[in-house]
Chains A and B, each alone.
Chain A
Amino acid sequence: MAEMTGNPYDINGQHFNPDMYLQKLLKECTLQQIMDQESEVVQDTQALHSDMQTLVYENYNKFISATDTVRKMKSDFKKMEDEMDLLAKNMESITSFSEQISCTLQDTRQQISELSGVHSMLKRLQFLFKLPTQLKTRIQEEEFSQAVQDYIHAQRVFQQYGNMTSFQGIQSDCEAIVEELKKKLRDQFRSKEASAKELTESVDLLLQLKEPADSLCADFLSHANSRLAEQLTLLEQSENQDIIEFVDLGSSGVLGNLCLIVASYNDMFINRPYHLDTESDLDSVAVSQLGNFVLHNMERYFNIVSCRVEKEQDIGDTVVLVRALDRFHRRLQAMKTLFSDTDFARTGTDIVLKAGYRQCRSHLQALKTHFSDTLTCVRQSLAAPKLVSQDGDNSSSLFELLSSLVISTVEKVKGVLQDLLVFAQPDLTFVLKPHFQEVFCVESVREHLVVGFLHHLTAVARGFCGSGDVKAPPALLLLLSKMCLEFESSNVHYLLSITDEWFNIEESSAASGLTHASELRSNMLAAAQELLNHYVRMQGLSVSQMLRKSVETRDWLHTIEPRTVRAVMKRVVEDIAAVDSQVGALYEEGQRAERSSDSSRRTQSITVSRHAYRSNWSSYGPSHLDSSLVTNIQKLFSERIEIFSSVEFSKVSILTGIIKISLKTFLECVRLRTFSCYGLQQIQVDTHYLQLYLWRFVADENLVHFLLDEILGSAVHRCVDPVLMEPSVVEIICERG
């Protein structure tokens, strides 16, 4: 309550209002309380009163003692004033005395100062007269810097008193000596053994002797140049050294020296502490000279290094090479501070990049040869095992060959990538450059190596499709087709993603240059399709040729009544079965058209087709029109058959393609011949036999039926005496055969 200022009810506060307080008391308190309050107030008042009285007494006492003290001080001061007056008098007498003394000593002092001036002059003259000899001794003792110091010291004097004859003699002497000194210094400067420090010293001295700086620069540089050149040739010749040693030698020897030279040059000619008047002009000349010098030598150095790296790549180990390159690059990076204007690190990076690119190229070459070697192996093993195992095993070995081909290729690529990964280790200095990432990872590794190799694969595979290489065994075509397909389905993506992952290639980073996996995959798919189509054509052709020969060479007019199926038909079926097993080893079965239930299939199909034959040519004879009409109507309802069409990647589709080609050839050949009755019947037997055995290979057996019907129909047309054999007899012959 006490701290509340402005409270009128606070009895101790400033703003206490007695009336309000009283009123409040009267209003709020009981009588007893008011009474208590009153007595309390009275007590308080009395206490305050007594306190006040004691305070007044105390103060009064203090005042009285103070008055006493002041009075005492007044008497003391008077005494002091007298003493001060005495002191002033004494001082005056001292001053007069000292004036007297100085007057007496004046003359002597002037004499002494004159004498000391003469002495110093004499000393200086003595120095001058001694200078030539001193310089000589200094030079002899090879204390060049001291000599120069002395000379410069004296020079000022010569300048001042140069017109006096006696001095001129000394000056000329000195100059002669200094010339000698300069010569000596230059000799030292030019001598081959001189260390950089000595060089620096001599140049510094020469400069102090006001030799022309630009010629010194040139001298210095040409000298340094010759020395560096020596080192470079040494470096060039050190062929049998390890590449790391080579790089170390280059770094510490050549580059170290170069740095030293540049540093001292900078100190001497460019950042000189004392400035001459032609400074700015000289500076630019000096800088440009230095620039040329450095550029020239670095160029040479880079040439040597890149030559060496190139050589190394033919033989060496990538890890060592990369370590060497890293050291090389690191050193260049360090040099960056020295040469601000030219970025040698960039050139160094370029050399590294070139090395990387060459590495990729040689790896690509290795991959290509490896692939062609594997292919040759595959070809050989394709040719060989047929002798060993005619049956069953053939197909499984084909699959093994395929997987070994694919796996070895993929593994080889992976191995190469791993090898190249050494280039991209994050602790290497050049990896940090963004430029490196773009050029090495994206261009060299991904685009050149991986994408290039995949393109090579498709190109090689496609090469087999050309009409030129007829010798390629069909199985190889099939194998390559499947290989392309495998690559298309997984390996392309796998290799690319591995590359991207290992080399931190982001899709977005270089979106423009990246070849997308889908493009490669579509290429692969196209190659696979082409190869497969070619395979179908090749196999179709070989079967066709058998059929064609069998039709063309036989005399169908004079053949005997058929007793067996011709051997060639059996051969055809055998061949197709062999193809079937070959294809089956690599390709899925594929979609077949709906067909009748197994049990009734064979008989039903035969009766249906036989019915078709009947309707087709039983009416032959009386009206030719009918027969052709019937065939035409039949054709209206059947779809056009594409013979050399693309096949799908499935077994039935492939075999359908082969069978289509073969049967169409059969048809065309039959149309070119003329048959006797027995000839026709032989064809009837043959087609029936084919019908019995070929349906199982194709997607749509109606296709086989249709083509065989066409063949038999054409044979009927080409027959001079068209009488067909009894179907039952045909069946017996076929079953017996």
Chain B
Amino acid sequence: MEDGKPVIYGLEFQARALAAQVAESETIRFLVGTQSLKLENNQIHIVELHEDSGTLSTQVYQHAAGEVWSLAASPGDSSKIITCFNTLSENGCQVKAALWNLPNLDSISTLNPKDETDKLPQLEKVCSLEAKEQVQDVRTVAFHPTDGQRAVSVLDSQCVLWDLGQNDARVTTTVSLEGKGHPRFTTGKWNPHHNYSQFATAHDSHVRSWDLRSPQTPAWSIESAHCQLVRDVDFNPNKQYYLATCGDDGCSKFWDSRDPSEPIAVRSDHSHWVWQIRFNHFHDQLILTSSSDSRVILTSMASISSEPYSNSGADEVAEAESEQRRKLEDGVLATYEEHEDSVYCVEWSCADPWTFASLSYDGRLVINQVPREDKYKILL
């Protein structure tokens, strides 16, 4: 890992669900959910990177409930996760969501448990996030950024805020999307600012933000953020009002929610749809995007980040030169081409600001790091 080479972990199944373990701040851990239409074959992998040796240790759980479409890790309890999974019945398939407990989390081993498939530990289901007579598919579920007791599930045309206290799921608030032609949500994201009261959703080419305390009307919206479908939204964790979107036009756009008429910046580095966009939690000038052109691109947007260009220190003259040298330019820092299929997910590690994982459809998980020179440019 030290020499900057990527660590690759292969899954046996196709996969499009990836999450960093939010509650874990000591070790670099990622969660991966698989997709197999043989439902009982589905698994949740916990992959842990040992930074010193560059080796991986994994723990695999059986997720027999269905193929995993989306995955979220609880910010409060590292053993709690929510998955959105596809179930099959005679009437067709439906995507549901449930809160799970990962048993024996401590026993993560470097052993590869492939040969003992039958003995995979089962996930313990805590509760399912399912309202009565729910027929809509669950798009994604997002945990409250700090409170493991609350989560929002994004359905086709509803967002439901759940209270997960006492191992039980209760609906507290519902946001409904209404409009011509039955618009459908594609994704949703909890806004980490404003005391966690806002939740942003994307449908078609629009982005809307809802105040969960008064969910009747959107707090603000970006109409036609992209000229095609918006695939993902992410908030700058360190700078209020700033957010990023990506979509099927192959662009990443950066917005100030106070002025949603024009993006602050637009980048178009991918050659196909951009599926996910992520701000680095610590150094928000670092931005990761994953795309179905099989690439992951690390971009720097230093000019609109929360970290100012120059720290106005006492000896500015002396620093001016070195400042010039280490200033990080806007632009692509690195393109990672280890994947050979569409990359649907990319996530920063919650423990190490320089490490991230990306997952392509063919089940390849690649753990990479920010190039060292860029790292130094930011640190020094």
- Interface residues of chain A, those whose CB is within 8 Å of chain B, are 467, 470, 541, 555, 557-558, 624-625, 628, 631-632, 635-636, 640, 642-645, 664, 668, 671, 674, 717-720
Contacts and interface: CB of A to CB of B under 8 A. Distances in A.
Interface of B: 12-14, 36-37, 41, 86, 88, 92-93, 227-228, 249-250, 270-273, 292-294, 337, 340-342, 361-363
B37 A642 contact: no
Given A628-B14, A642-B271, A671-B361, A636 B340 contact: yes
Contacts of B342: 668, 671
Given A632-B362, A635-B340, A671-B361, A644 B93 contact: no
A717 B340 contact: no
9 contacts: A541-B228, A628-B12, A640-B293, A643-B293, A644-B293, A645-B271, A664-B272, A664-B292, A718-B37
Given A557-B93, A635-B341, A668 B292 contact: yes
Given A624-B12, A625-B12, A557 B92 contact: yes
Given A635-B341, A643-B271, A643-B272, A674 B362 contact: no
A624 B362 CA distance: 11
B272 A674 contact: no
B84 to A, nearest CB: 13
Contacts of A628: 12, 14, 362-363
A327 B170 CA distance: 94
A674 B88 contact: yes
B36 A720 contact: no
B272 A644 contact: yes
A632 B340 contact: yes
A674 B86 contact: yes
B37 A719 contact: yes
Nearest to B249: A467
Nearest to B39: A720
A642 B335 CA distance: 14
Nearest to B89: A557
Contacts of B228: 541
Would you call the interface of chain B mostly helix, strand, loop, or mixed?
loop
B249 to A, nearest CB: 8
Given A645-B271, A664-B272, A467 B37 contact: no
A467 to B, nearest CB: 5
B361 A644 contact: no
A555 B362 contact: no
Contacts, number: 55
B101 to A, nearest CB: 27
B340 A674 contact: no
A674 B37 contact: yes
A155 B154 CA distance: 120
B271 A624 contact: no
A717 B86 contact: no
Contacts of B36: 624
Nearest to A624: B12
Given A628-B14, A632-B362, A674-B37, A668 B273 contact: yes
Contacts of B294: 640
Nearest to B361: A671
Nearest to B14: A717
Nearest to B273: A668
Contacts of A558: 92
A427 B249 CA distance: 60
B217 to A, nearest CB: 27
Contacts of B249: 467
Nearest to A545: B228
Contacts of A718: 37
A645 B271 CA distance: 6
Nearest to B86: A674
A624 B292 contact: no
B227 A470 contact: yes
A679 B190 CA distance: 37
Given A664-B272, A664-B292, A624 B13 contact: yes
Given A557-B93, A720-B37, A644 B227 contact: no
A178 B270 CA distance: 102
A720 B88 CA distance: 9
Contacts of B13: 624
Given A555-B92, A558-B92, A674-B86, 12 more contacts: A470-B227, A628-B362, A632-B340, A632-B362, A640-B294, A643-B271, A643-B293, A668-B273, A668-B292, A671-B342, A674-B93, A719-B37
Contacts of B88: 674, 720
Contacts of B92: 555, 557-558
A116 to B, nearest CB: 108
B271 A631 contact: no
Contacts of A717: 14, 37
Given A636-B340, A674-B86, A674-B88, A644 B362 contact: no
Contacts of A664: 272, 292
Given A635-B341, A668-B342, A644 B14 contact: no
Given A541-B228, A557-B93, A674-B86, A644 B37 contact: no
B68 to A, nearest CB: 14
**Closest 9 A/B residue pairs (Cβ):** A643-B272, A644-B271, A642-B271, A635-B340, A557-B92, A467-B227, A674-B93, A720-B37, A644-B250
B370 to A, nearest CB: 24
Nearest to B251: A467
Nearest to A644: B271
A418 B37 CA distance: 75
B118 to A, nearest CB: 16
Contacts of B273: 668
B267 to A, nearest CB: 13
A168 to B, nearest CB: 93
A558 B340 CA distance: 32
A642 B292 CA distance: 10
A479 B146 CA distance: 55
Nearest to A718: B37
A306 B141 CA distance: 74
B64 to A, nearest CB: 16
Contacts of B41: 624
Nearest to B10: A628
A467 B225 CA distance: 11
Contacts of A671: 342, 361
